[in-house]
Structure 1
Amino acid sequence: MKSFPTLLFSITLCCISSFSTSLRAEKEPDRLAKNAIEGLEIADGLEASLFVSEPEMLSPTNIDIDAYGRVWVCEVVNYRRRNGERPEGDRILIFEDEDGDGKADSKKVFYQGRDIDTAMGICVLGNRVIVSVAPYVFILIDDDGDDKADRKQVLFSQTGQPQHDHSNHAFLFGPDGKLYWNFGNTGQAVHDAEGNPVISKEGHAVVDNRQPYIGGMVFRCDLDGSNFEVVGHNFRNNYEVTVDSFGTLWQSDNDDDGNQGVRINYVMQHGNFGYRDEITGAGWRDPRVGMAEEVPLRHWHLNDPGVVPNLLQTGGGSPTGICFYEGKLLPEVFQNEIIHTDAGPNIVRAYPVENDGAGYSAEIVNIMEGTRDKWFRPSDVCVAPDGSLIVADWYDPGVGGHHMGDIAKGRLFRIAPPESPYHSSEFDVSTPEGATEALKSPNAARRYLAWTALHEMQRDAETTLVALSQDENPRFQARAYWLLAKIDGRAQQTIDEMSQEENSDLRVQSLRVALQTDVDVVALIGQLINDPSPQVRRECALSLRDIPQNVKAPLWAKLALQHDGEDRWYLEALGIGAADSWDACLSAWLEEVGDKWNSPSNRDIVWRSRAQQTAGMLAKLLRDADVPNETVPRYLRAFDFLPQEDKSEVLLDLALSSNPEDRSARTNLIVQEALSRLPSYDLVREQNKEVEFSEALNRLRGSAAYVELVSRYGLKDRYPELIEIATADPQSSLSVKAILTLLEAKQNEVIREALYSMEPEQAEKLIQVIGNSQHGGSVAVFNKYIEDDEVDLSLRRLATGQLGKSKYGAEQLLKRINEKKLSKKLMVSAEAALLRSADQNIRNAAIKLFPQAPSRNNKPLPPIQELVKREGNVAKGRLVFNDVGTCIKCHQVHGFGKEVGPALTEIGSKLSREAMYEAILFPSAGISHNYESYTIIDDDGNIYSGVLTSITDEEITFKNVDGISRTIKQENIDELIKQDISLMPADMQKIMTEEELVDLVEYMSTLKKEQ
């Protein structure tokens, strides 16, 4: 759960499927709870104990630990089961260890109902329990203290898709007295209890619509949901957020499965985190100049200006729960660090963080790993009052694909040093001294009670809080300062004290506190603007964001002057601070730097800027021979983030004013990218630049840009050249685009003439690319060709098969067959084409005409339970995998194969054998988000199918089962239908024998992450 649909996916497209329900009865000894600890590897200095397991608890998605050490659990068995595996609904459970032995002694059902089916988050705040269950956020209230919910309130509504774990996630009480939470990229929007759109403090509706928010988001609000802020956005499936005592936010985010791009983020205030293109909403696969070579980096648009860097890339996985550990019980390496569960690689990790410029760097230290038991799926981790950890284990053969393989198991583990009894110390928040002591707790629920009590006391708590603000522990100081600043009339004094602290984290916090109170933020920024810590200066830049530009600009310029040209964290903070004031900010900076703006340390300021004069400055950089060639693509990419009215004239000049004798790769790239960004050909005509445009276009012959420009501007004199491009590689997207340009322009005669005049080898390529276009115009091209006895029979058969790839072509084939007008010599080709048609009606008609055998060799496969016990041959399995009819057709391993579905390079580390068989034989049982199959019907009635790789307001791009990308304008789409089946054939057994299937799974089991 959590980001479970983000780990693996159904082996062609969404390789995480799971077990059939028959496996629930599986009783192998290594799956029994009594053997659970044996399947785990625990870090030195720690030991694990089984706190509770099945049958007392099943499938925990999320947990919290209350102020008394009791563990609250979202127990989910109705995930993706609309009829309900448990008709009474999912449950909120409470477990308590009464004797301190690290094992639960009692269980209570706090709440049960279908309204909390698939709850993904729980936060215990005294007698109020916040439960996140899309599309709602509920508050369950225990009025009489009997550990039963007496009332239910709606905090937020219409937030996320029901039964979808990319939606709303768990809440957390922050050190500032606010709530923090998030949702993933199916969260869609946030509405209040009455269904009204929530408006952020910045004045925007909180909606994933690029106005301005996009994708997954992180939120902060008051306890009643007011003062709503979007702290960061453009994540994929950011599962949980955590916050430390200084108010720094951390979270994980999951990639589009199989791309080794799982990441950990420091959530920079108001940051864009790059899952989708900020301007167009395009996906990360869309080609763009300057994109990173490495897929994990490309995945997050990290080469784009305006994207906050990642703290850490952790490879493949399904990241889930997260917390920040500020206790003392665990070994020092884990103290004051992020602790995180990742269900995909069966692991619980810590990420020790160090300051790195204006940002951070981190390493990975494992805490708990399912080295022997790959069903260990840690879904959450929380800190108990005694400083020990409780880890929830979803326990399942697979994770992801919106599917559960096992609903009969689930576990909680306690992690602590040996001989550390589980205990919850006494506490009393009724006095300032008692509440201040409770505020030191590593447990968030206890700190909530302490914070609330101290805040209500106001001046009565001041003395004890002042004492705590001078503690040797800076995190205790930070907690005290948050409360002191919220004592009426004491904010300015508190901030003055904080800004003088030696610890830079406290000085950073002073700015955060200032933004939540009524003090003069501008004065504080002026005081800290030359702070020796880049972290503090970063926070100064972020704090400028909502300040009037006449005040902001000179302060921003002083901060920008301190950019070293290498610190991307600092650069992005400057970009966030300059929002909506770029003209004034950049001008103020230019007044300070003068001609030195074009220096290695200052060029990134220009690259990141979005002022009116930015385009002209970028052009100067591109023409400057001292600017390294390797930086040219990033400066070209920067144009995409500027308004069209600011860049059109500059782009035209860049495209047309280059020296014709200069044919260098650099100049050609500049011309190509500049031409492709022109708003229309009218600009060329207005300035009488047709000749110069033609000369510039000649530079691009044979390229995708050339085809795009010929198509966009309808340059008919260039059409014959597209035939040559179309036949270069019929399987390439470029060749398909070239032939589509001709077909859509109804240049059928040009195509036919070329077809008849070609040698057979070239004719084959032209026929193939016409078929790969799936365009109905193929009928006009092939109509007479396939019946022309003077044409070689092999070419006619090929054309017949390619004709059937479009809906109209397939309909014409059926018509010919039914009217007995199709040559018998072409019948086999027609059969193959019609049986693989994307149109179900055509396939049904074909089946009647051409009955098929039930399975290969008519030999049924044994049950999965039997297949799992079989040992296969790795070498033979590799051959099966690489056969053109099976896996390699849609998947890559170590860079080989087609990139239709996710890469399977590490599939053996992620899926058990059982889950692999499920995924191969029942690919539609669990299809992961972002890998669903779609059927597209255009306004000509053509039918296409594939996986969407990008969708914008203007067009969609999809990749078909042959790995060919196609882009169709939104205005030309009649229907876009999401399918509930995978693109992967549901009858794989028909192309494999039992032995070949076993060999295939044996080989795939060897595809593991390198250690």
Structure 2
Amino acid sequence: MLRPFTALALLAGLTVSLYAAKPDRPEKPAKKEKEFVAAKPAFTPDPAVPAFDPNQVTPEHLDTSMFKVPEGMEISVWATSPMLFNPANMDVDAEGRVWVAEGINYRRHSGRSREGDAIRVLEDTDGDGKADKSHVFVREKELECPLGVAVFDNVIVVSNAPNIIVYTDVNRDLKFDPAVDKREVLLDGFEQPQHDHSLHAVYAGPDGRWYFSNGNCGAQFSDKSGNTFRIGSGYLNNSYTGEKSDDGHVYVGGFTASLDPSGHNVRILGYNYRNSFEGVRNSFGDMYLNDNDDPPACRVSHLIEGGSFGFFSPDGKRQWRADKRPGQTIAVAEWRQDDPGSIPAGDVYGGGAPTGMTFYENGALGDKWKGLLLSCETGRNVVFGYLPKPDGAGMKLERFDFCTSNTTGVFKGSDFVGGKDNMSDERHTLFRPSDVCVGMDGAIYISDWFDKRTGGHMDTDETCSGTIYRIVPKGTNPKVTKVNYDTIEGQIAALKSPANNVRHTGFVKLKEQGDKALPAVTALLDDANPYIAARAVWLLAQMGEKGNLKVRTWLESDDANKRLVALRALRAAGGDLMHLFNTLAADDSAAVRSEIAVAMRDVPFAQSEHILVELAKRSDGQDRSYLEAWGIGCTGKEAEVWAALHKLSNGVAPEEWTNAFAQVTWRLHPAAAVEAVKTRALSSKLSAPQRKLALDTLAFTQDASAAQAMLAVAKDKESPIHGDAMWWLINRSTNDWSSYNIAGELKAQGIFDPEATKLVTIETPPAMPSLVKLDEVLALKGDAKNGSSLVVRCVMCHQINHQGVEFGPSLQGWGLSQPTDIIAQAILEPSKDIAHGFEGMEIVTKDGIKIHGMVLTDGDVLIVRSMGGQTQFVPKSRIASRKKMDRSLMLSASQLGLSAQDIADIVAYMRQTE
């Protein structure tokens, strides 16, 4: 354990910084405040949309007997319509009240609530575990399905694109009165009102800052410090896509940001998402988020500060499909998990539509559930649970169903199941959990949107029914302990609260108390609950010299998590920490070292060289989270860092590089490494995976020398990576290497002449009507052993049991998560439900050659893969016509000669094959 601190080191540099050695820039003048004149609707209401009248509908909710919750827990209805309608998001306040952002005016129903949507307040006044009071805090025409509400004492923050709106309830009567109360647009510029991929809820972090996420609709906004952020993507082709923000970085896609509650000092903490609906930052400082699928690759992830999840190309112009490599699964391709600069995607679970999240640290559920991450999944009728565990520099996320109405594994009314006409027709599939939070009583609260459909910007429930469910240990009714924000004791109680945003108010008020609150906050360091103790650390770091010194004692702890929390808290407090980073660069903990790495992102090479080199020495080449955190720290100085590391290698031949150094080179991919990397790619002494890593390193090097090196590799047609080299050359010729005349070089060097290449006809036979019916298969008992022999008929199109061709979707482990009838139906009639990303294309050339297959790369030369894995390069100039096929490229059970018993046997085998 390396902790060489002295009293002198402890006293040095008592103020610290999130961006340590970056000099403080003078604050830019704040923009002139916009005057709010009058609320106006985001959309012009369609008079054809009937007005919503709660007295004319009969609302619905699911009976609690339909739900499965953990053993020892029970679920009850806390509130239901007409006390609330279409709950899009919720939060709780210090009195235990639940605040709800309603979405009656969702999308095509804009104007259904003629006076706009509402922020509603619900309360259990008699403490019987059920709400008995409900009223509207604010209703405005401008509010059109706001996707977020957060409550910080008497400050209510509403996320309603294009604005983050802050209401201050001055007289604390829980009703917004413009004559008395205050209303401010804190930030604006978030694209697309009434869009699920836009602005989401605000929530507090343990550092006293506010956090929020935005989907990939884009945003161009300025904070109160005058810094402008331009974050666009190829989703809506924003005009500013690929432009630098004022902090000097390029951000694309969806993102997570934090800011001071005053609206100053915005920081982008993660980006390149599809549409993260909500995130959390727990009291240890760990950040988590969920994200939509496109197609099925939804994820719940641990966020590394400054990290990209890779949904778009780095310039934001290309969606992931354009760069999907042969053999990659959708989960790997969608989040660019094979690309340097993309952080680990975490739990990629498939299709769905994730929404709200929360993190349980203390409360009524007991110690067993401390550290519980919850994520709502409307498409699968479930609230997922995770108990994250440290895994190197990252977190291991093992998913389980915490609360669900649907244990069948058959889902309906969601994009990943089928088209827009796919609707739920069974009640157990109507549970659409929109949000989850921990109440002041320590119970879990879940809001249900309740609908036959989720996703596709649709809602079909004309009753606008909504319900809030409450989960507590069986036989208990935990009570709300109200806090008094006017006393230090009450403020401490708030900081210890189970409710996240209540803790924030306690943090702010205790910080304002200064030295008077120091003894009470210090006492929390010994709390038996490590999350509560951690909350004190974040606060003490911002309470002057005395508090700062108490935080630094945690840096001496044998507990790596304590050291990590202390380091994060000191960074958040502001100032110069370089002496500390130099010391901790040799820490035993990969998580601690990763925190130092990301702190180096904006530190010039002259000041960060020693630290980055020390951190690189401790990379094992296996921990992807560590490698990516280190790579983030190297941003803008990749060439200098690689040169320093290469110098230390003392002239080791490229073929003798360690795996760790090869990985570091791949992550940095500097032009200076091209010749050495080319040597590795061409070397028959290295394994195919080692050579492929070298090839990928070249592919991400933005330099003409890398293109020439790739051409040299492609010349060897017997090489195991020849096909990969050809794919990269054709792909890169249309984007990053478009100025290097790749096509001309391929022809000039005799590698590939697109006009002269020989093409052959490959047609998939039309599907035969199935001679076997689904009911026949389901009536039979399958023999898995016989199925393992029969499944070889599938390997000419699929990979299964680690064998087969990469053409159709990989079936490796697919059957474990699918019900019997779904597997059988896919074999019987593959055209009935074609997997996303595997739609066929029919291409006819000018000389009559017909090719059925999947287009892997679309440019001047199309790469087309057909049945059996045969790949052809088709010049666009030779194509007479191309059209999307209306049937699958897979053969049906009848065409494969499978009987009903054969299919039952294959199903049995796939249901038990990982």
Normalised to the residue count of structure 2, the TM-score between the two structures is 0.72
Q: Corresponding residue for 2:442? A: 387
1:327 is matched with which residue: 362, 365, 372? 362
2:265 aligned residue: 227
Structure with more relative contact order (C-alpha pairs < 8 Å, separation 6 or more): 1
Task: Could you tell me which runs of 5 or more consecutive residues in structure 2 were left unpaired when the two chains were aligned.
Answer: 1-48, 232-237, 245-249, 408-427, 767-772, 779-797, 823-832, 840-853, 866-870, 877-883, 888-906
Alignment check: 8 A CA contact 2:201 2:213 kept: yes
Residue 533 of structure 1 is matched in structure 2 by 589
Alignment-derived partner of residue 167 in structure 1: 198
Do 1:282 and 1:951's aligned partners in 2 also have CA atoms closer than 8 Å? no
Helix, strand or coil for the counterpart of 1:448?
Answer: helix
Paired residue for 1:804?
none
* Residue equivalent to 1:198: 228
Aligned pairs for 1:871-910 (under 5 A) are: none
Alpha-carbon distance between aligned partners in 2 of 1:460 and 1:681, rounded to the nearest angstrom: 65
Aligned positions of 1:852-1001 closer than 5 A: none
Please give the alpha-carbon distance, in whole angstroms, between the structure 1 residues aligned to 2:255 and 2:838.
Answer: 21
1:585 counterpart = 2:644 = no
Alignment partners' CA distance in 2, 1:107 and 1:672 = 61
Q: Relative to 1, partners in 2 of residues 1:401 and 1:199: Cα closer, same or farther, differing over 3 Å?
A: closer
Given the alignment of the two structures, is residue 129 of structure 1 paired with residue 185 of structure 2, yes or no? no
Checking the alignment, whether the CA contact within 8 Å between 1:238 and 1:252 is kept in structure 2 is yes
- The counterpart of 1:263, out of the listed 299, 302, 310, is 299
Return the match for 1:424 from 468, 477, 480: 480
Does the 8 A contact of 1:190 with 1:198 survive in 2?
A: yes
Report the Cα offset of residue 673 of structure 1. Answer: 4.2
Q: 1:671 to 1:96 in 2, by over 3 A?
A: closer
- Residue 655 of structure 1 contacts residue 672 of structure 1 at CA under 8 Å; is this kept in 2? no
- Match status 1:522 vs 2:578: yes
- Deviation digits for residues 569-624 of structure 1, max 9, x if unmatched? 11111111111111221122223333457112321111111323132232122123
Judged with a 3 Å threshold, the aligned counterparts in structure 2 of structure 1 residues 245 and 229 are, in CA distance, closer, same or farther, namely: same
Q: CA offsets per residue over residues 880-937 of structure 1, 9 Å max, x none?
A: xxxxxxxxxxxx999999999xxx999999x99xxxxxxxxxx9xxxxx9999xxxxx
- Counterpart Cα distance in 2 of 1:23 and 1:876: 48
Report how far residue 543 of structure 1 moved.
1.4
Structure-1 separation of matches of 2:552 and 2:239: 34
Give per-residue Cα distances to partners, 1:209-254, cap 9 Å, x unaligned. Answer: 3641111100011002210111000111111010101221111111
- Give the alignment's Cα RMSD to 1 decimal: 4.8
- Name 1:665's counterpart in structure 2: 720
Deviation of 1:415 after TM superposition, in Å, equals: 0.5
What's the TM-score once normalised by structure 1's chain length? 0.65
1:607 corresponds to 2:702: no
Q: 2: CA distance between counterparts of 1:574 and 1:445?
A: 32
Cα distance in 2 for residues equivalent to 1:494 and 1:294: 49
2:564 aligns with one of 501, 508, 513: 508
Measure the CA separation in 1 of the matches of 2:84 and 2:268: 35
Change (3 A) 1:958 1:493: farther
1:106–1:955 CA distance, 2 compared to 1 (3 A): farther
Q: For 1:636 and 1:276, how far apart are their aligned partners in 2?
A: 21
- Identify the residue that residue 355 of structure 1 maps to in structure 2: 390
How many Å separate the matches in 2 of 1:951 and 1:496? 55
SS in 2 for 1:613: helix
Report what 1:241 is aligned to: 279
Q: Give, in whole Å, the separation in 2 of the partners of 1:542 and 1:682.
A: 34
Residues 547-569 of structure 1 show CA distances to partners (whole Å, capped at 9, x for unaligned) of 11012112111111111121111
- The amino acid across from 2:586 in the alignment is N
1:616 counterpart (672, 675, 681):
675
Letter in structure 1 aligned against 2:155 = R
Give the counterpart letter for 1:478 in structure 2.
A
Distance 1:969 1:351 in 2: 48
- C-alpha spacing 1:948/1:196, structure 2 compared with 1 (3 Å): farther
Aligned to 2:535: 479
State whether residues 230 and 270 of structure 1, in contact with CA within 8 Å, keep that contact through their aligned partners in structure 2: yes
Match runs of 1:231-310 below 5 Å = 231-257=269-295, 259=296, 261-279=297-315, 281-289=317-325, 293-310=328-345
Cα displacement (A) at 1:65: 0.8
In structure 2, do the counterparts of structure 1 residues 898 and 501 end up closer, same or farther at CA, with 3 Å as the change threshold?
A: closer
The SS at the match of 2:706 is helix
Q: Partner of 1:11 in structure 2? A: none
Give, in angstroms, the shift of residue 63 of structure 1: 0.6
CA separation of 1:54 and 1:897: change in aligned 2, threshold 3 A: farther
Answer whether contact 2:280 2:357 (CA < 8 A) is retained: yes
Q: Give how far 1:155 is off.
A: 1.4
The structural deviation recorded for 1:430 is: 2.5
CA contact (8 A) 2:383 2:401 kept: yes
Matched position secondary structure for 2:199: coil
Letter matched to residue 353 of structure 2:
S
Work out the CA distance in 2 between the residues paired with 1:362 and 1:269. Answer: 18
For 2:225 and 2:602, locate their aligned partners in 1 and report how far apart those are by CA, in whole Å: 28
Q: CA deviation at 1:464?
A: 1.5
Q: Verify the 8 A CA contact 1:427 1:438 in the aligned structure 2.
A: yes
Alignment of 1:353-502 (within 5 A): 353-371=388-406, 373-408=428-463, 409-490=465-546, 492-502=548-558
Alignment deviations for residues 356-375 of structure 1 (CA, whole Å, 9 cap, x no partner): 11111121232211138110
Structure 2 CA distance, aligned partners of 1:236 and 1:227? 25
Q: What secondary structure is seen at the aligned counterpart in 1 of 2:311?
A: coil
> Is it true that 1:728 corresponds to 2:787 in the alignment?
no
Higher helix share: 1
Q: Distance in 2 between matches of 1:407 and 1:967?
A: 51
2:120 touches 2:134 (CA, 8 Å); kept in 1?
A: yes
Q: Distance in 2 between matches of 1:339 and 1:314?
A: 15
CA distance, structure 1, for counterparts of residue 552 and residue 619 of structure 2: 26
2:207 maps to what in 1?
176
**Counterparts of 1:174 and 1:382 in 2: how far apart (Å)?**
15
Equivalent of residue 107 in structure 2, options 80, 85, 88: 80
1:653: Cα distance to partner?
4.6
- Aligned pairs for 1:753-772 (under 5 A) are none
- The answer on whether the counterparts of 2:671 and 2:703 sit within 8 Å (CA) in structure 1 is no
Task: Give the alignment partner of residue 341 of structure 1, picking from 332, 357, 376.
Answer: 376
Post-superposition CA distance 1:438-473 (Å, at most 9, x none): 211111232122111101111211121222223333
Matches within 5 A, 1:92-103: 92-103=119-130
Q: How does 1:550-569 map to 2 (within 5 A)?
A: 550-569=606-625
Deviation digits for residues 797-839 of structure 1 (CA, Å, limit 9, x no counterpart): xxxxxxxxxxxxxxxxxxxxxxxxxxxxxxxxxxxxxxxxxxx
1:157 counterpart residue number:
188
SS of residue matched to 2:549: helix
Name the count of aligned residue pairs: 740
Query: d(CA) in 2 for partners of 1:410 and 1:106?
Result: 15
Shift of 1:683: 7.2
Do the aligned residues in 1 keep the contact of 2:123 with 2:132 (CA within 8 Å)?
yes
Change (3 A) 1:96 1:544: same
State the shift of 1:514 in Å: 3.3
Q: State the alpha-carbon separation in 1 of the partners of residues 864 and 719 from structure 2.
A: 33
CA distance in 1, matches of 2:559, 2:395: 16
- TM-aligned CA distance change 1:68 to 1:585, over 3 Å: same
1:966-994 deviations in whole A, cap 9, x for unaligned?
Answer: 99999xxxxxxxxxxx9999xxxxxxxxx
Alpha-carbon distance in 2 for matches of 1:178, 1:966? 54
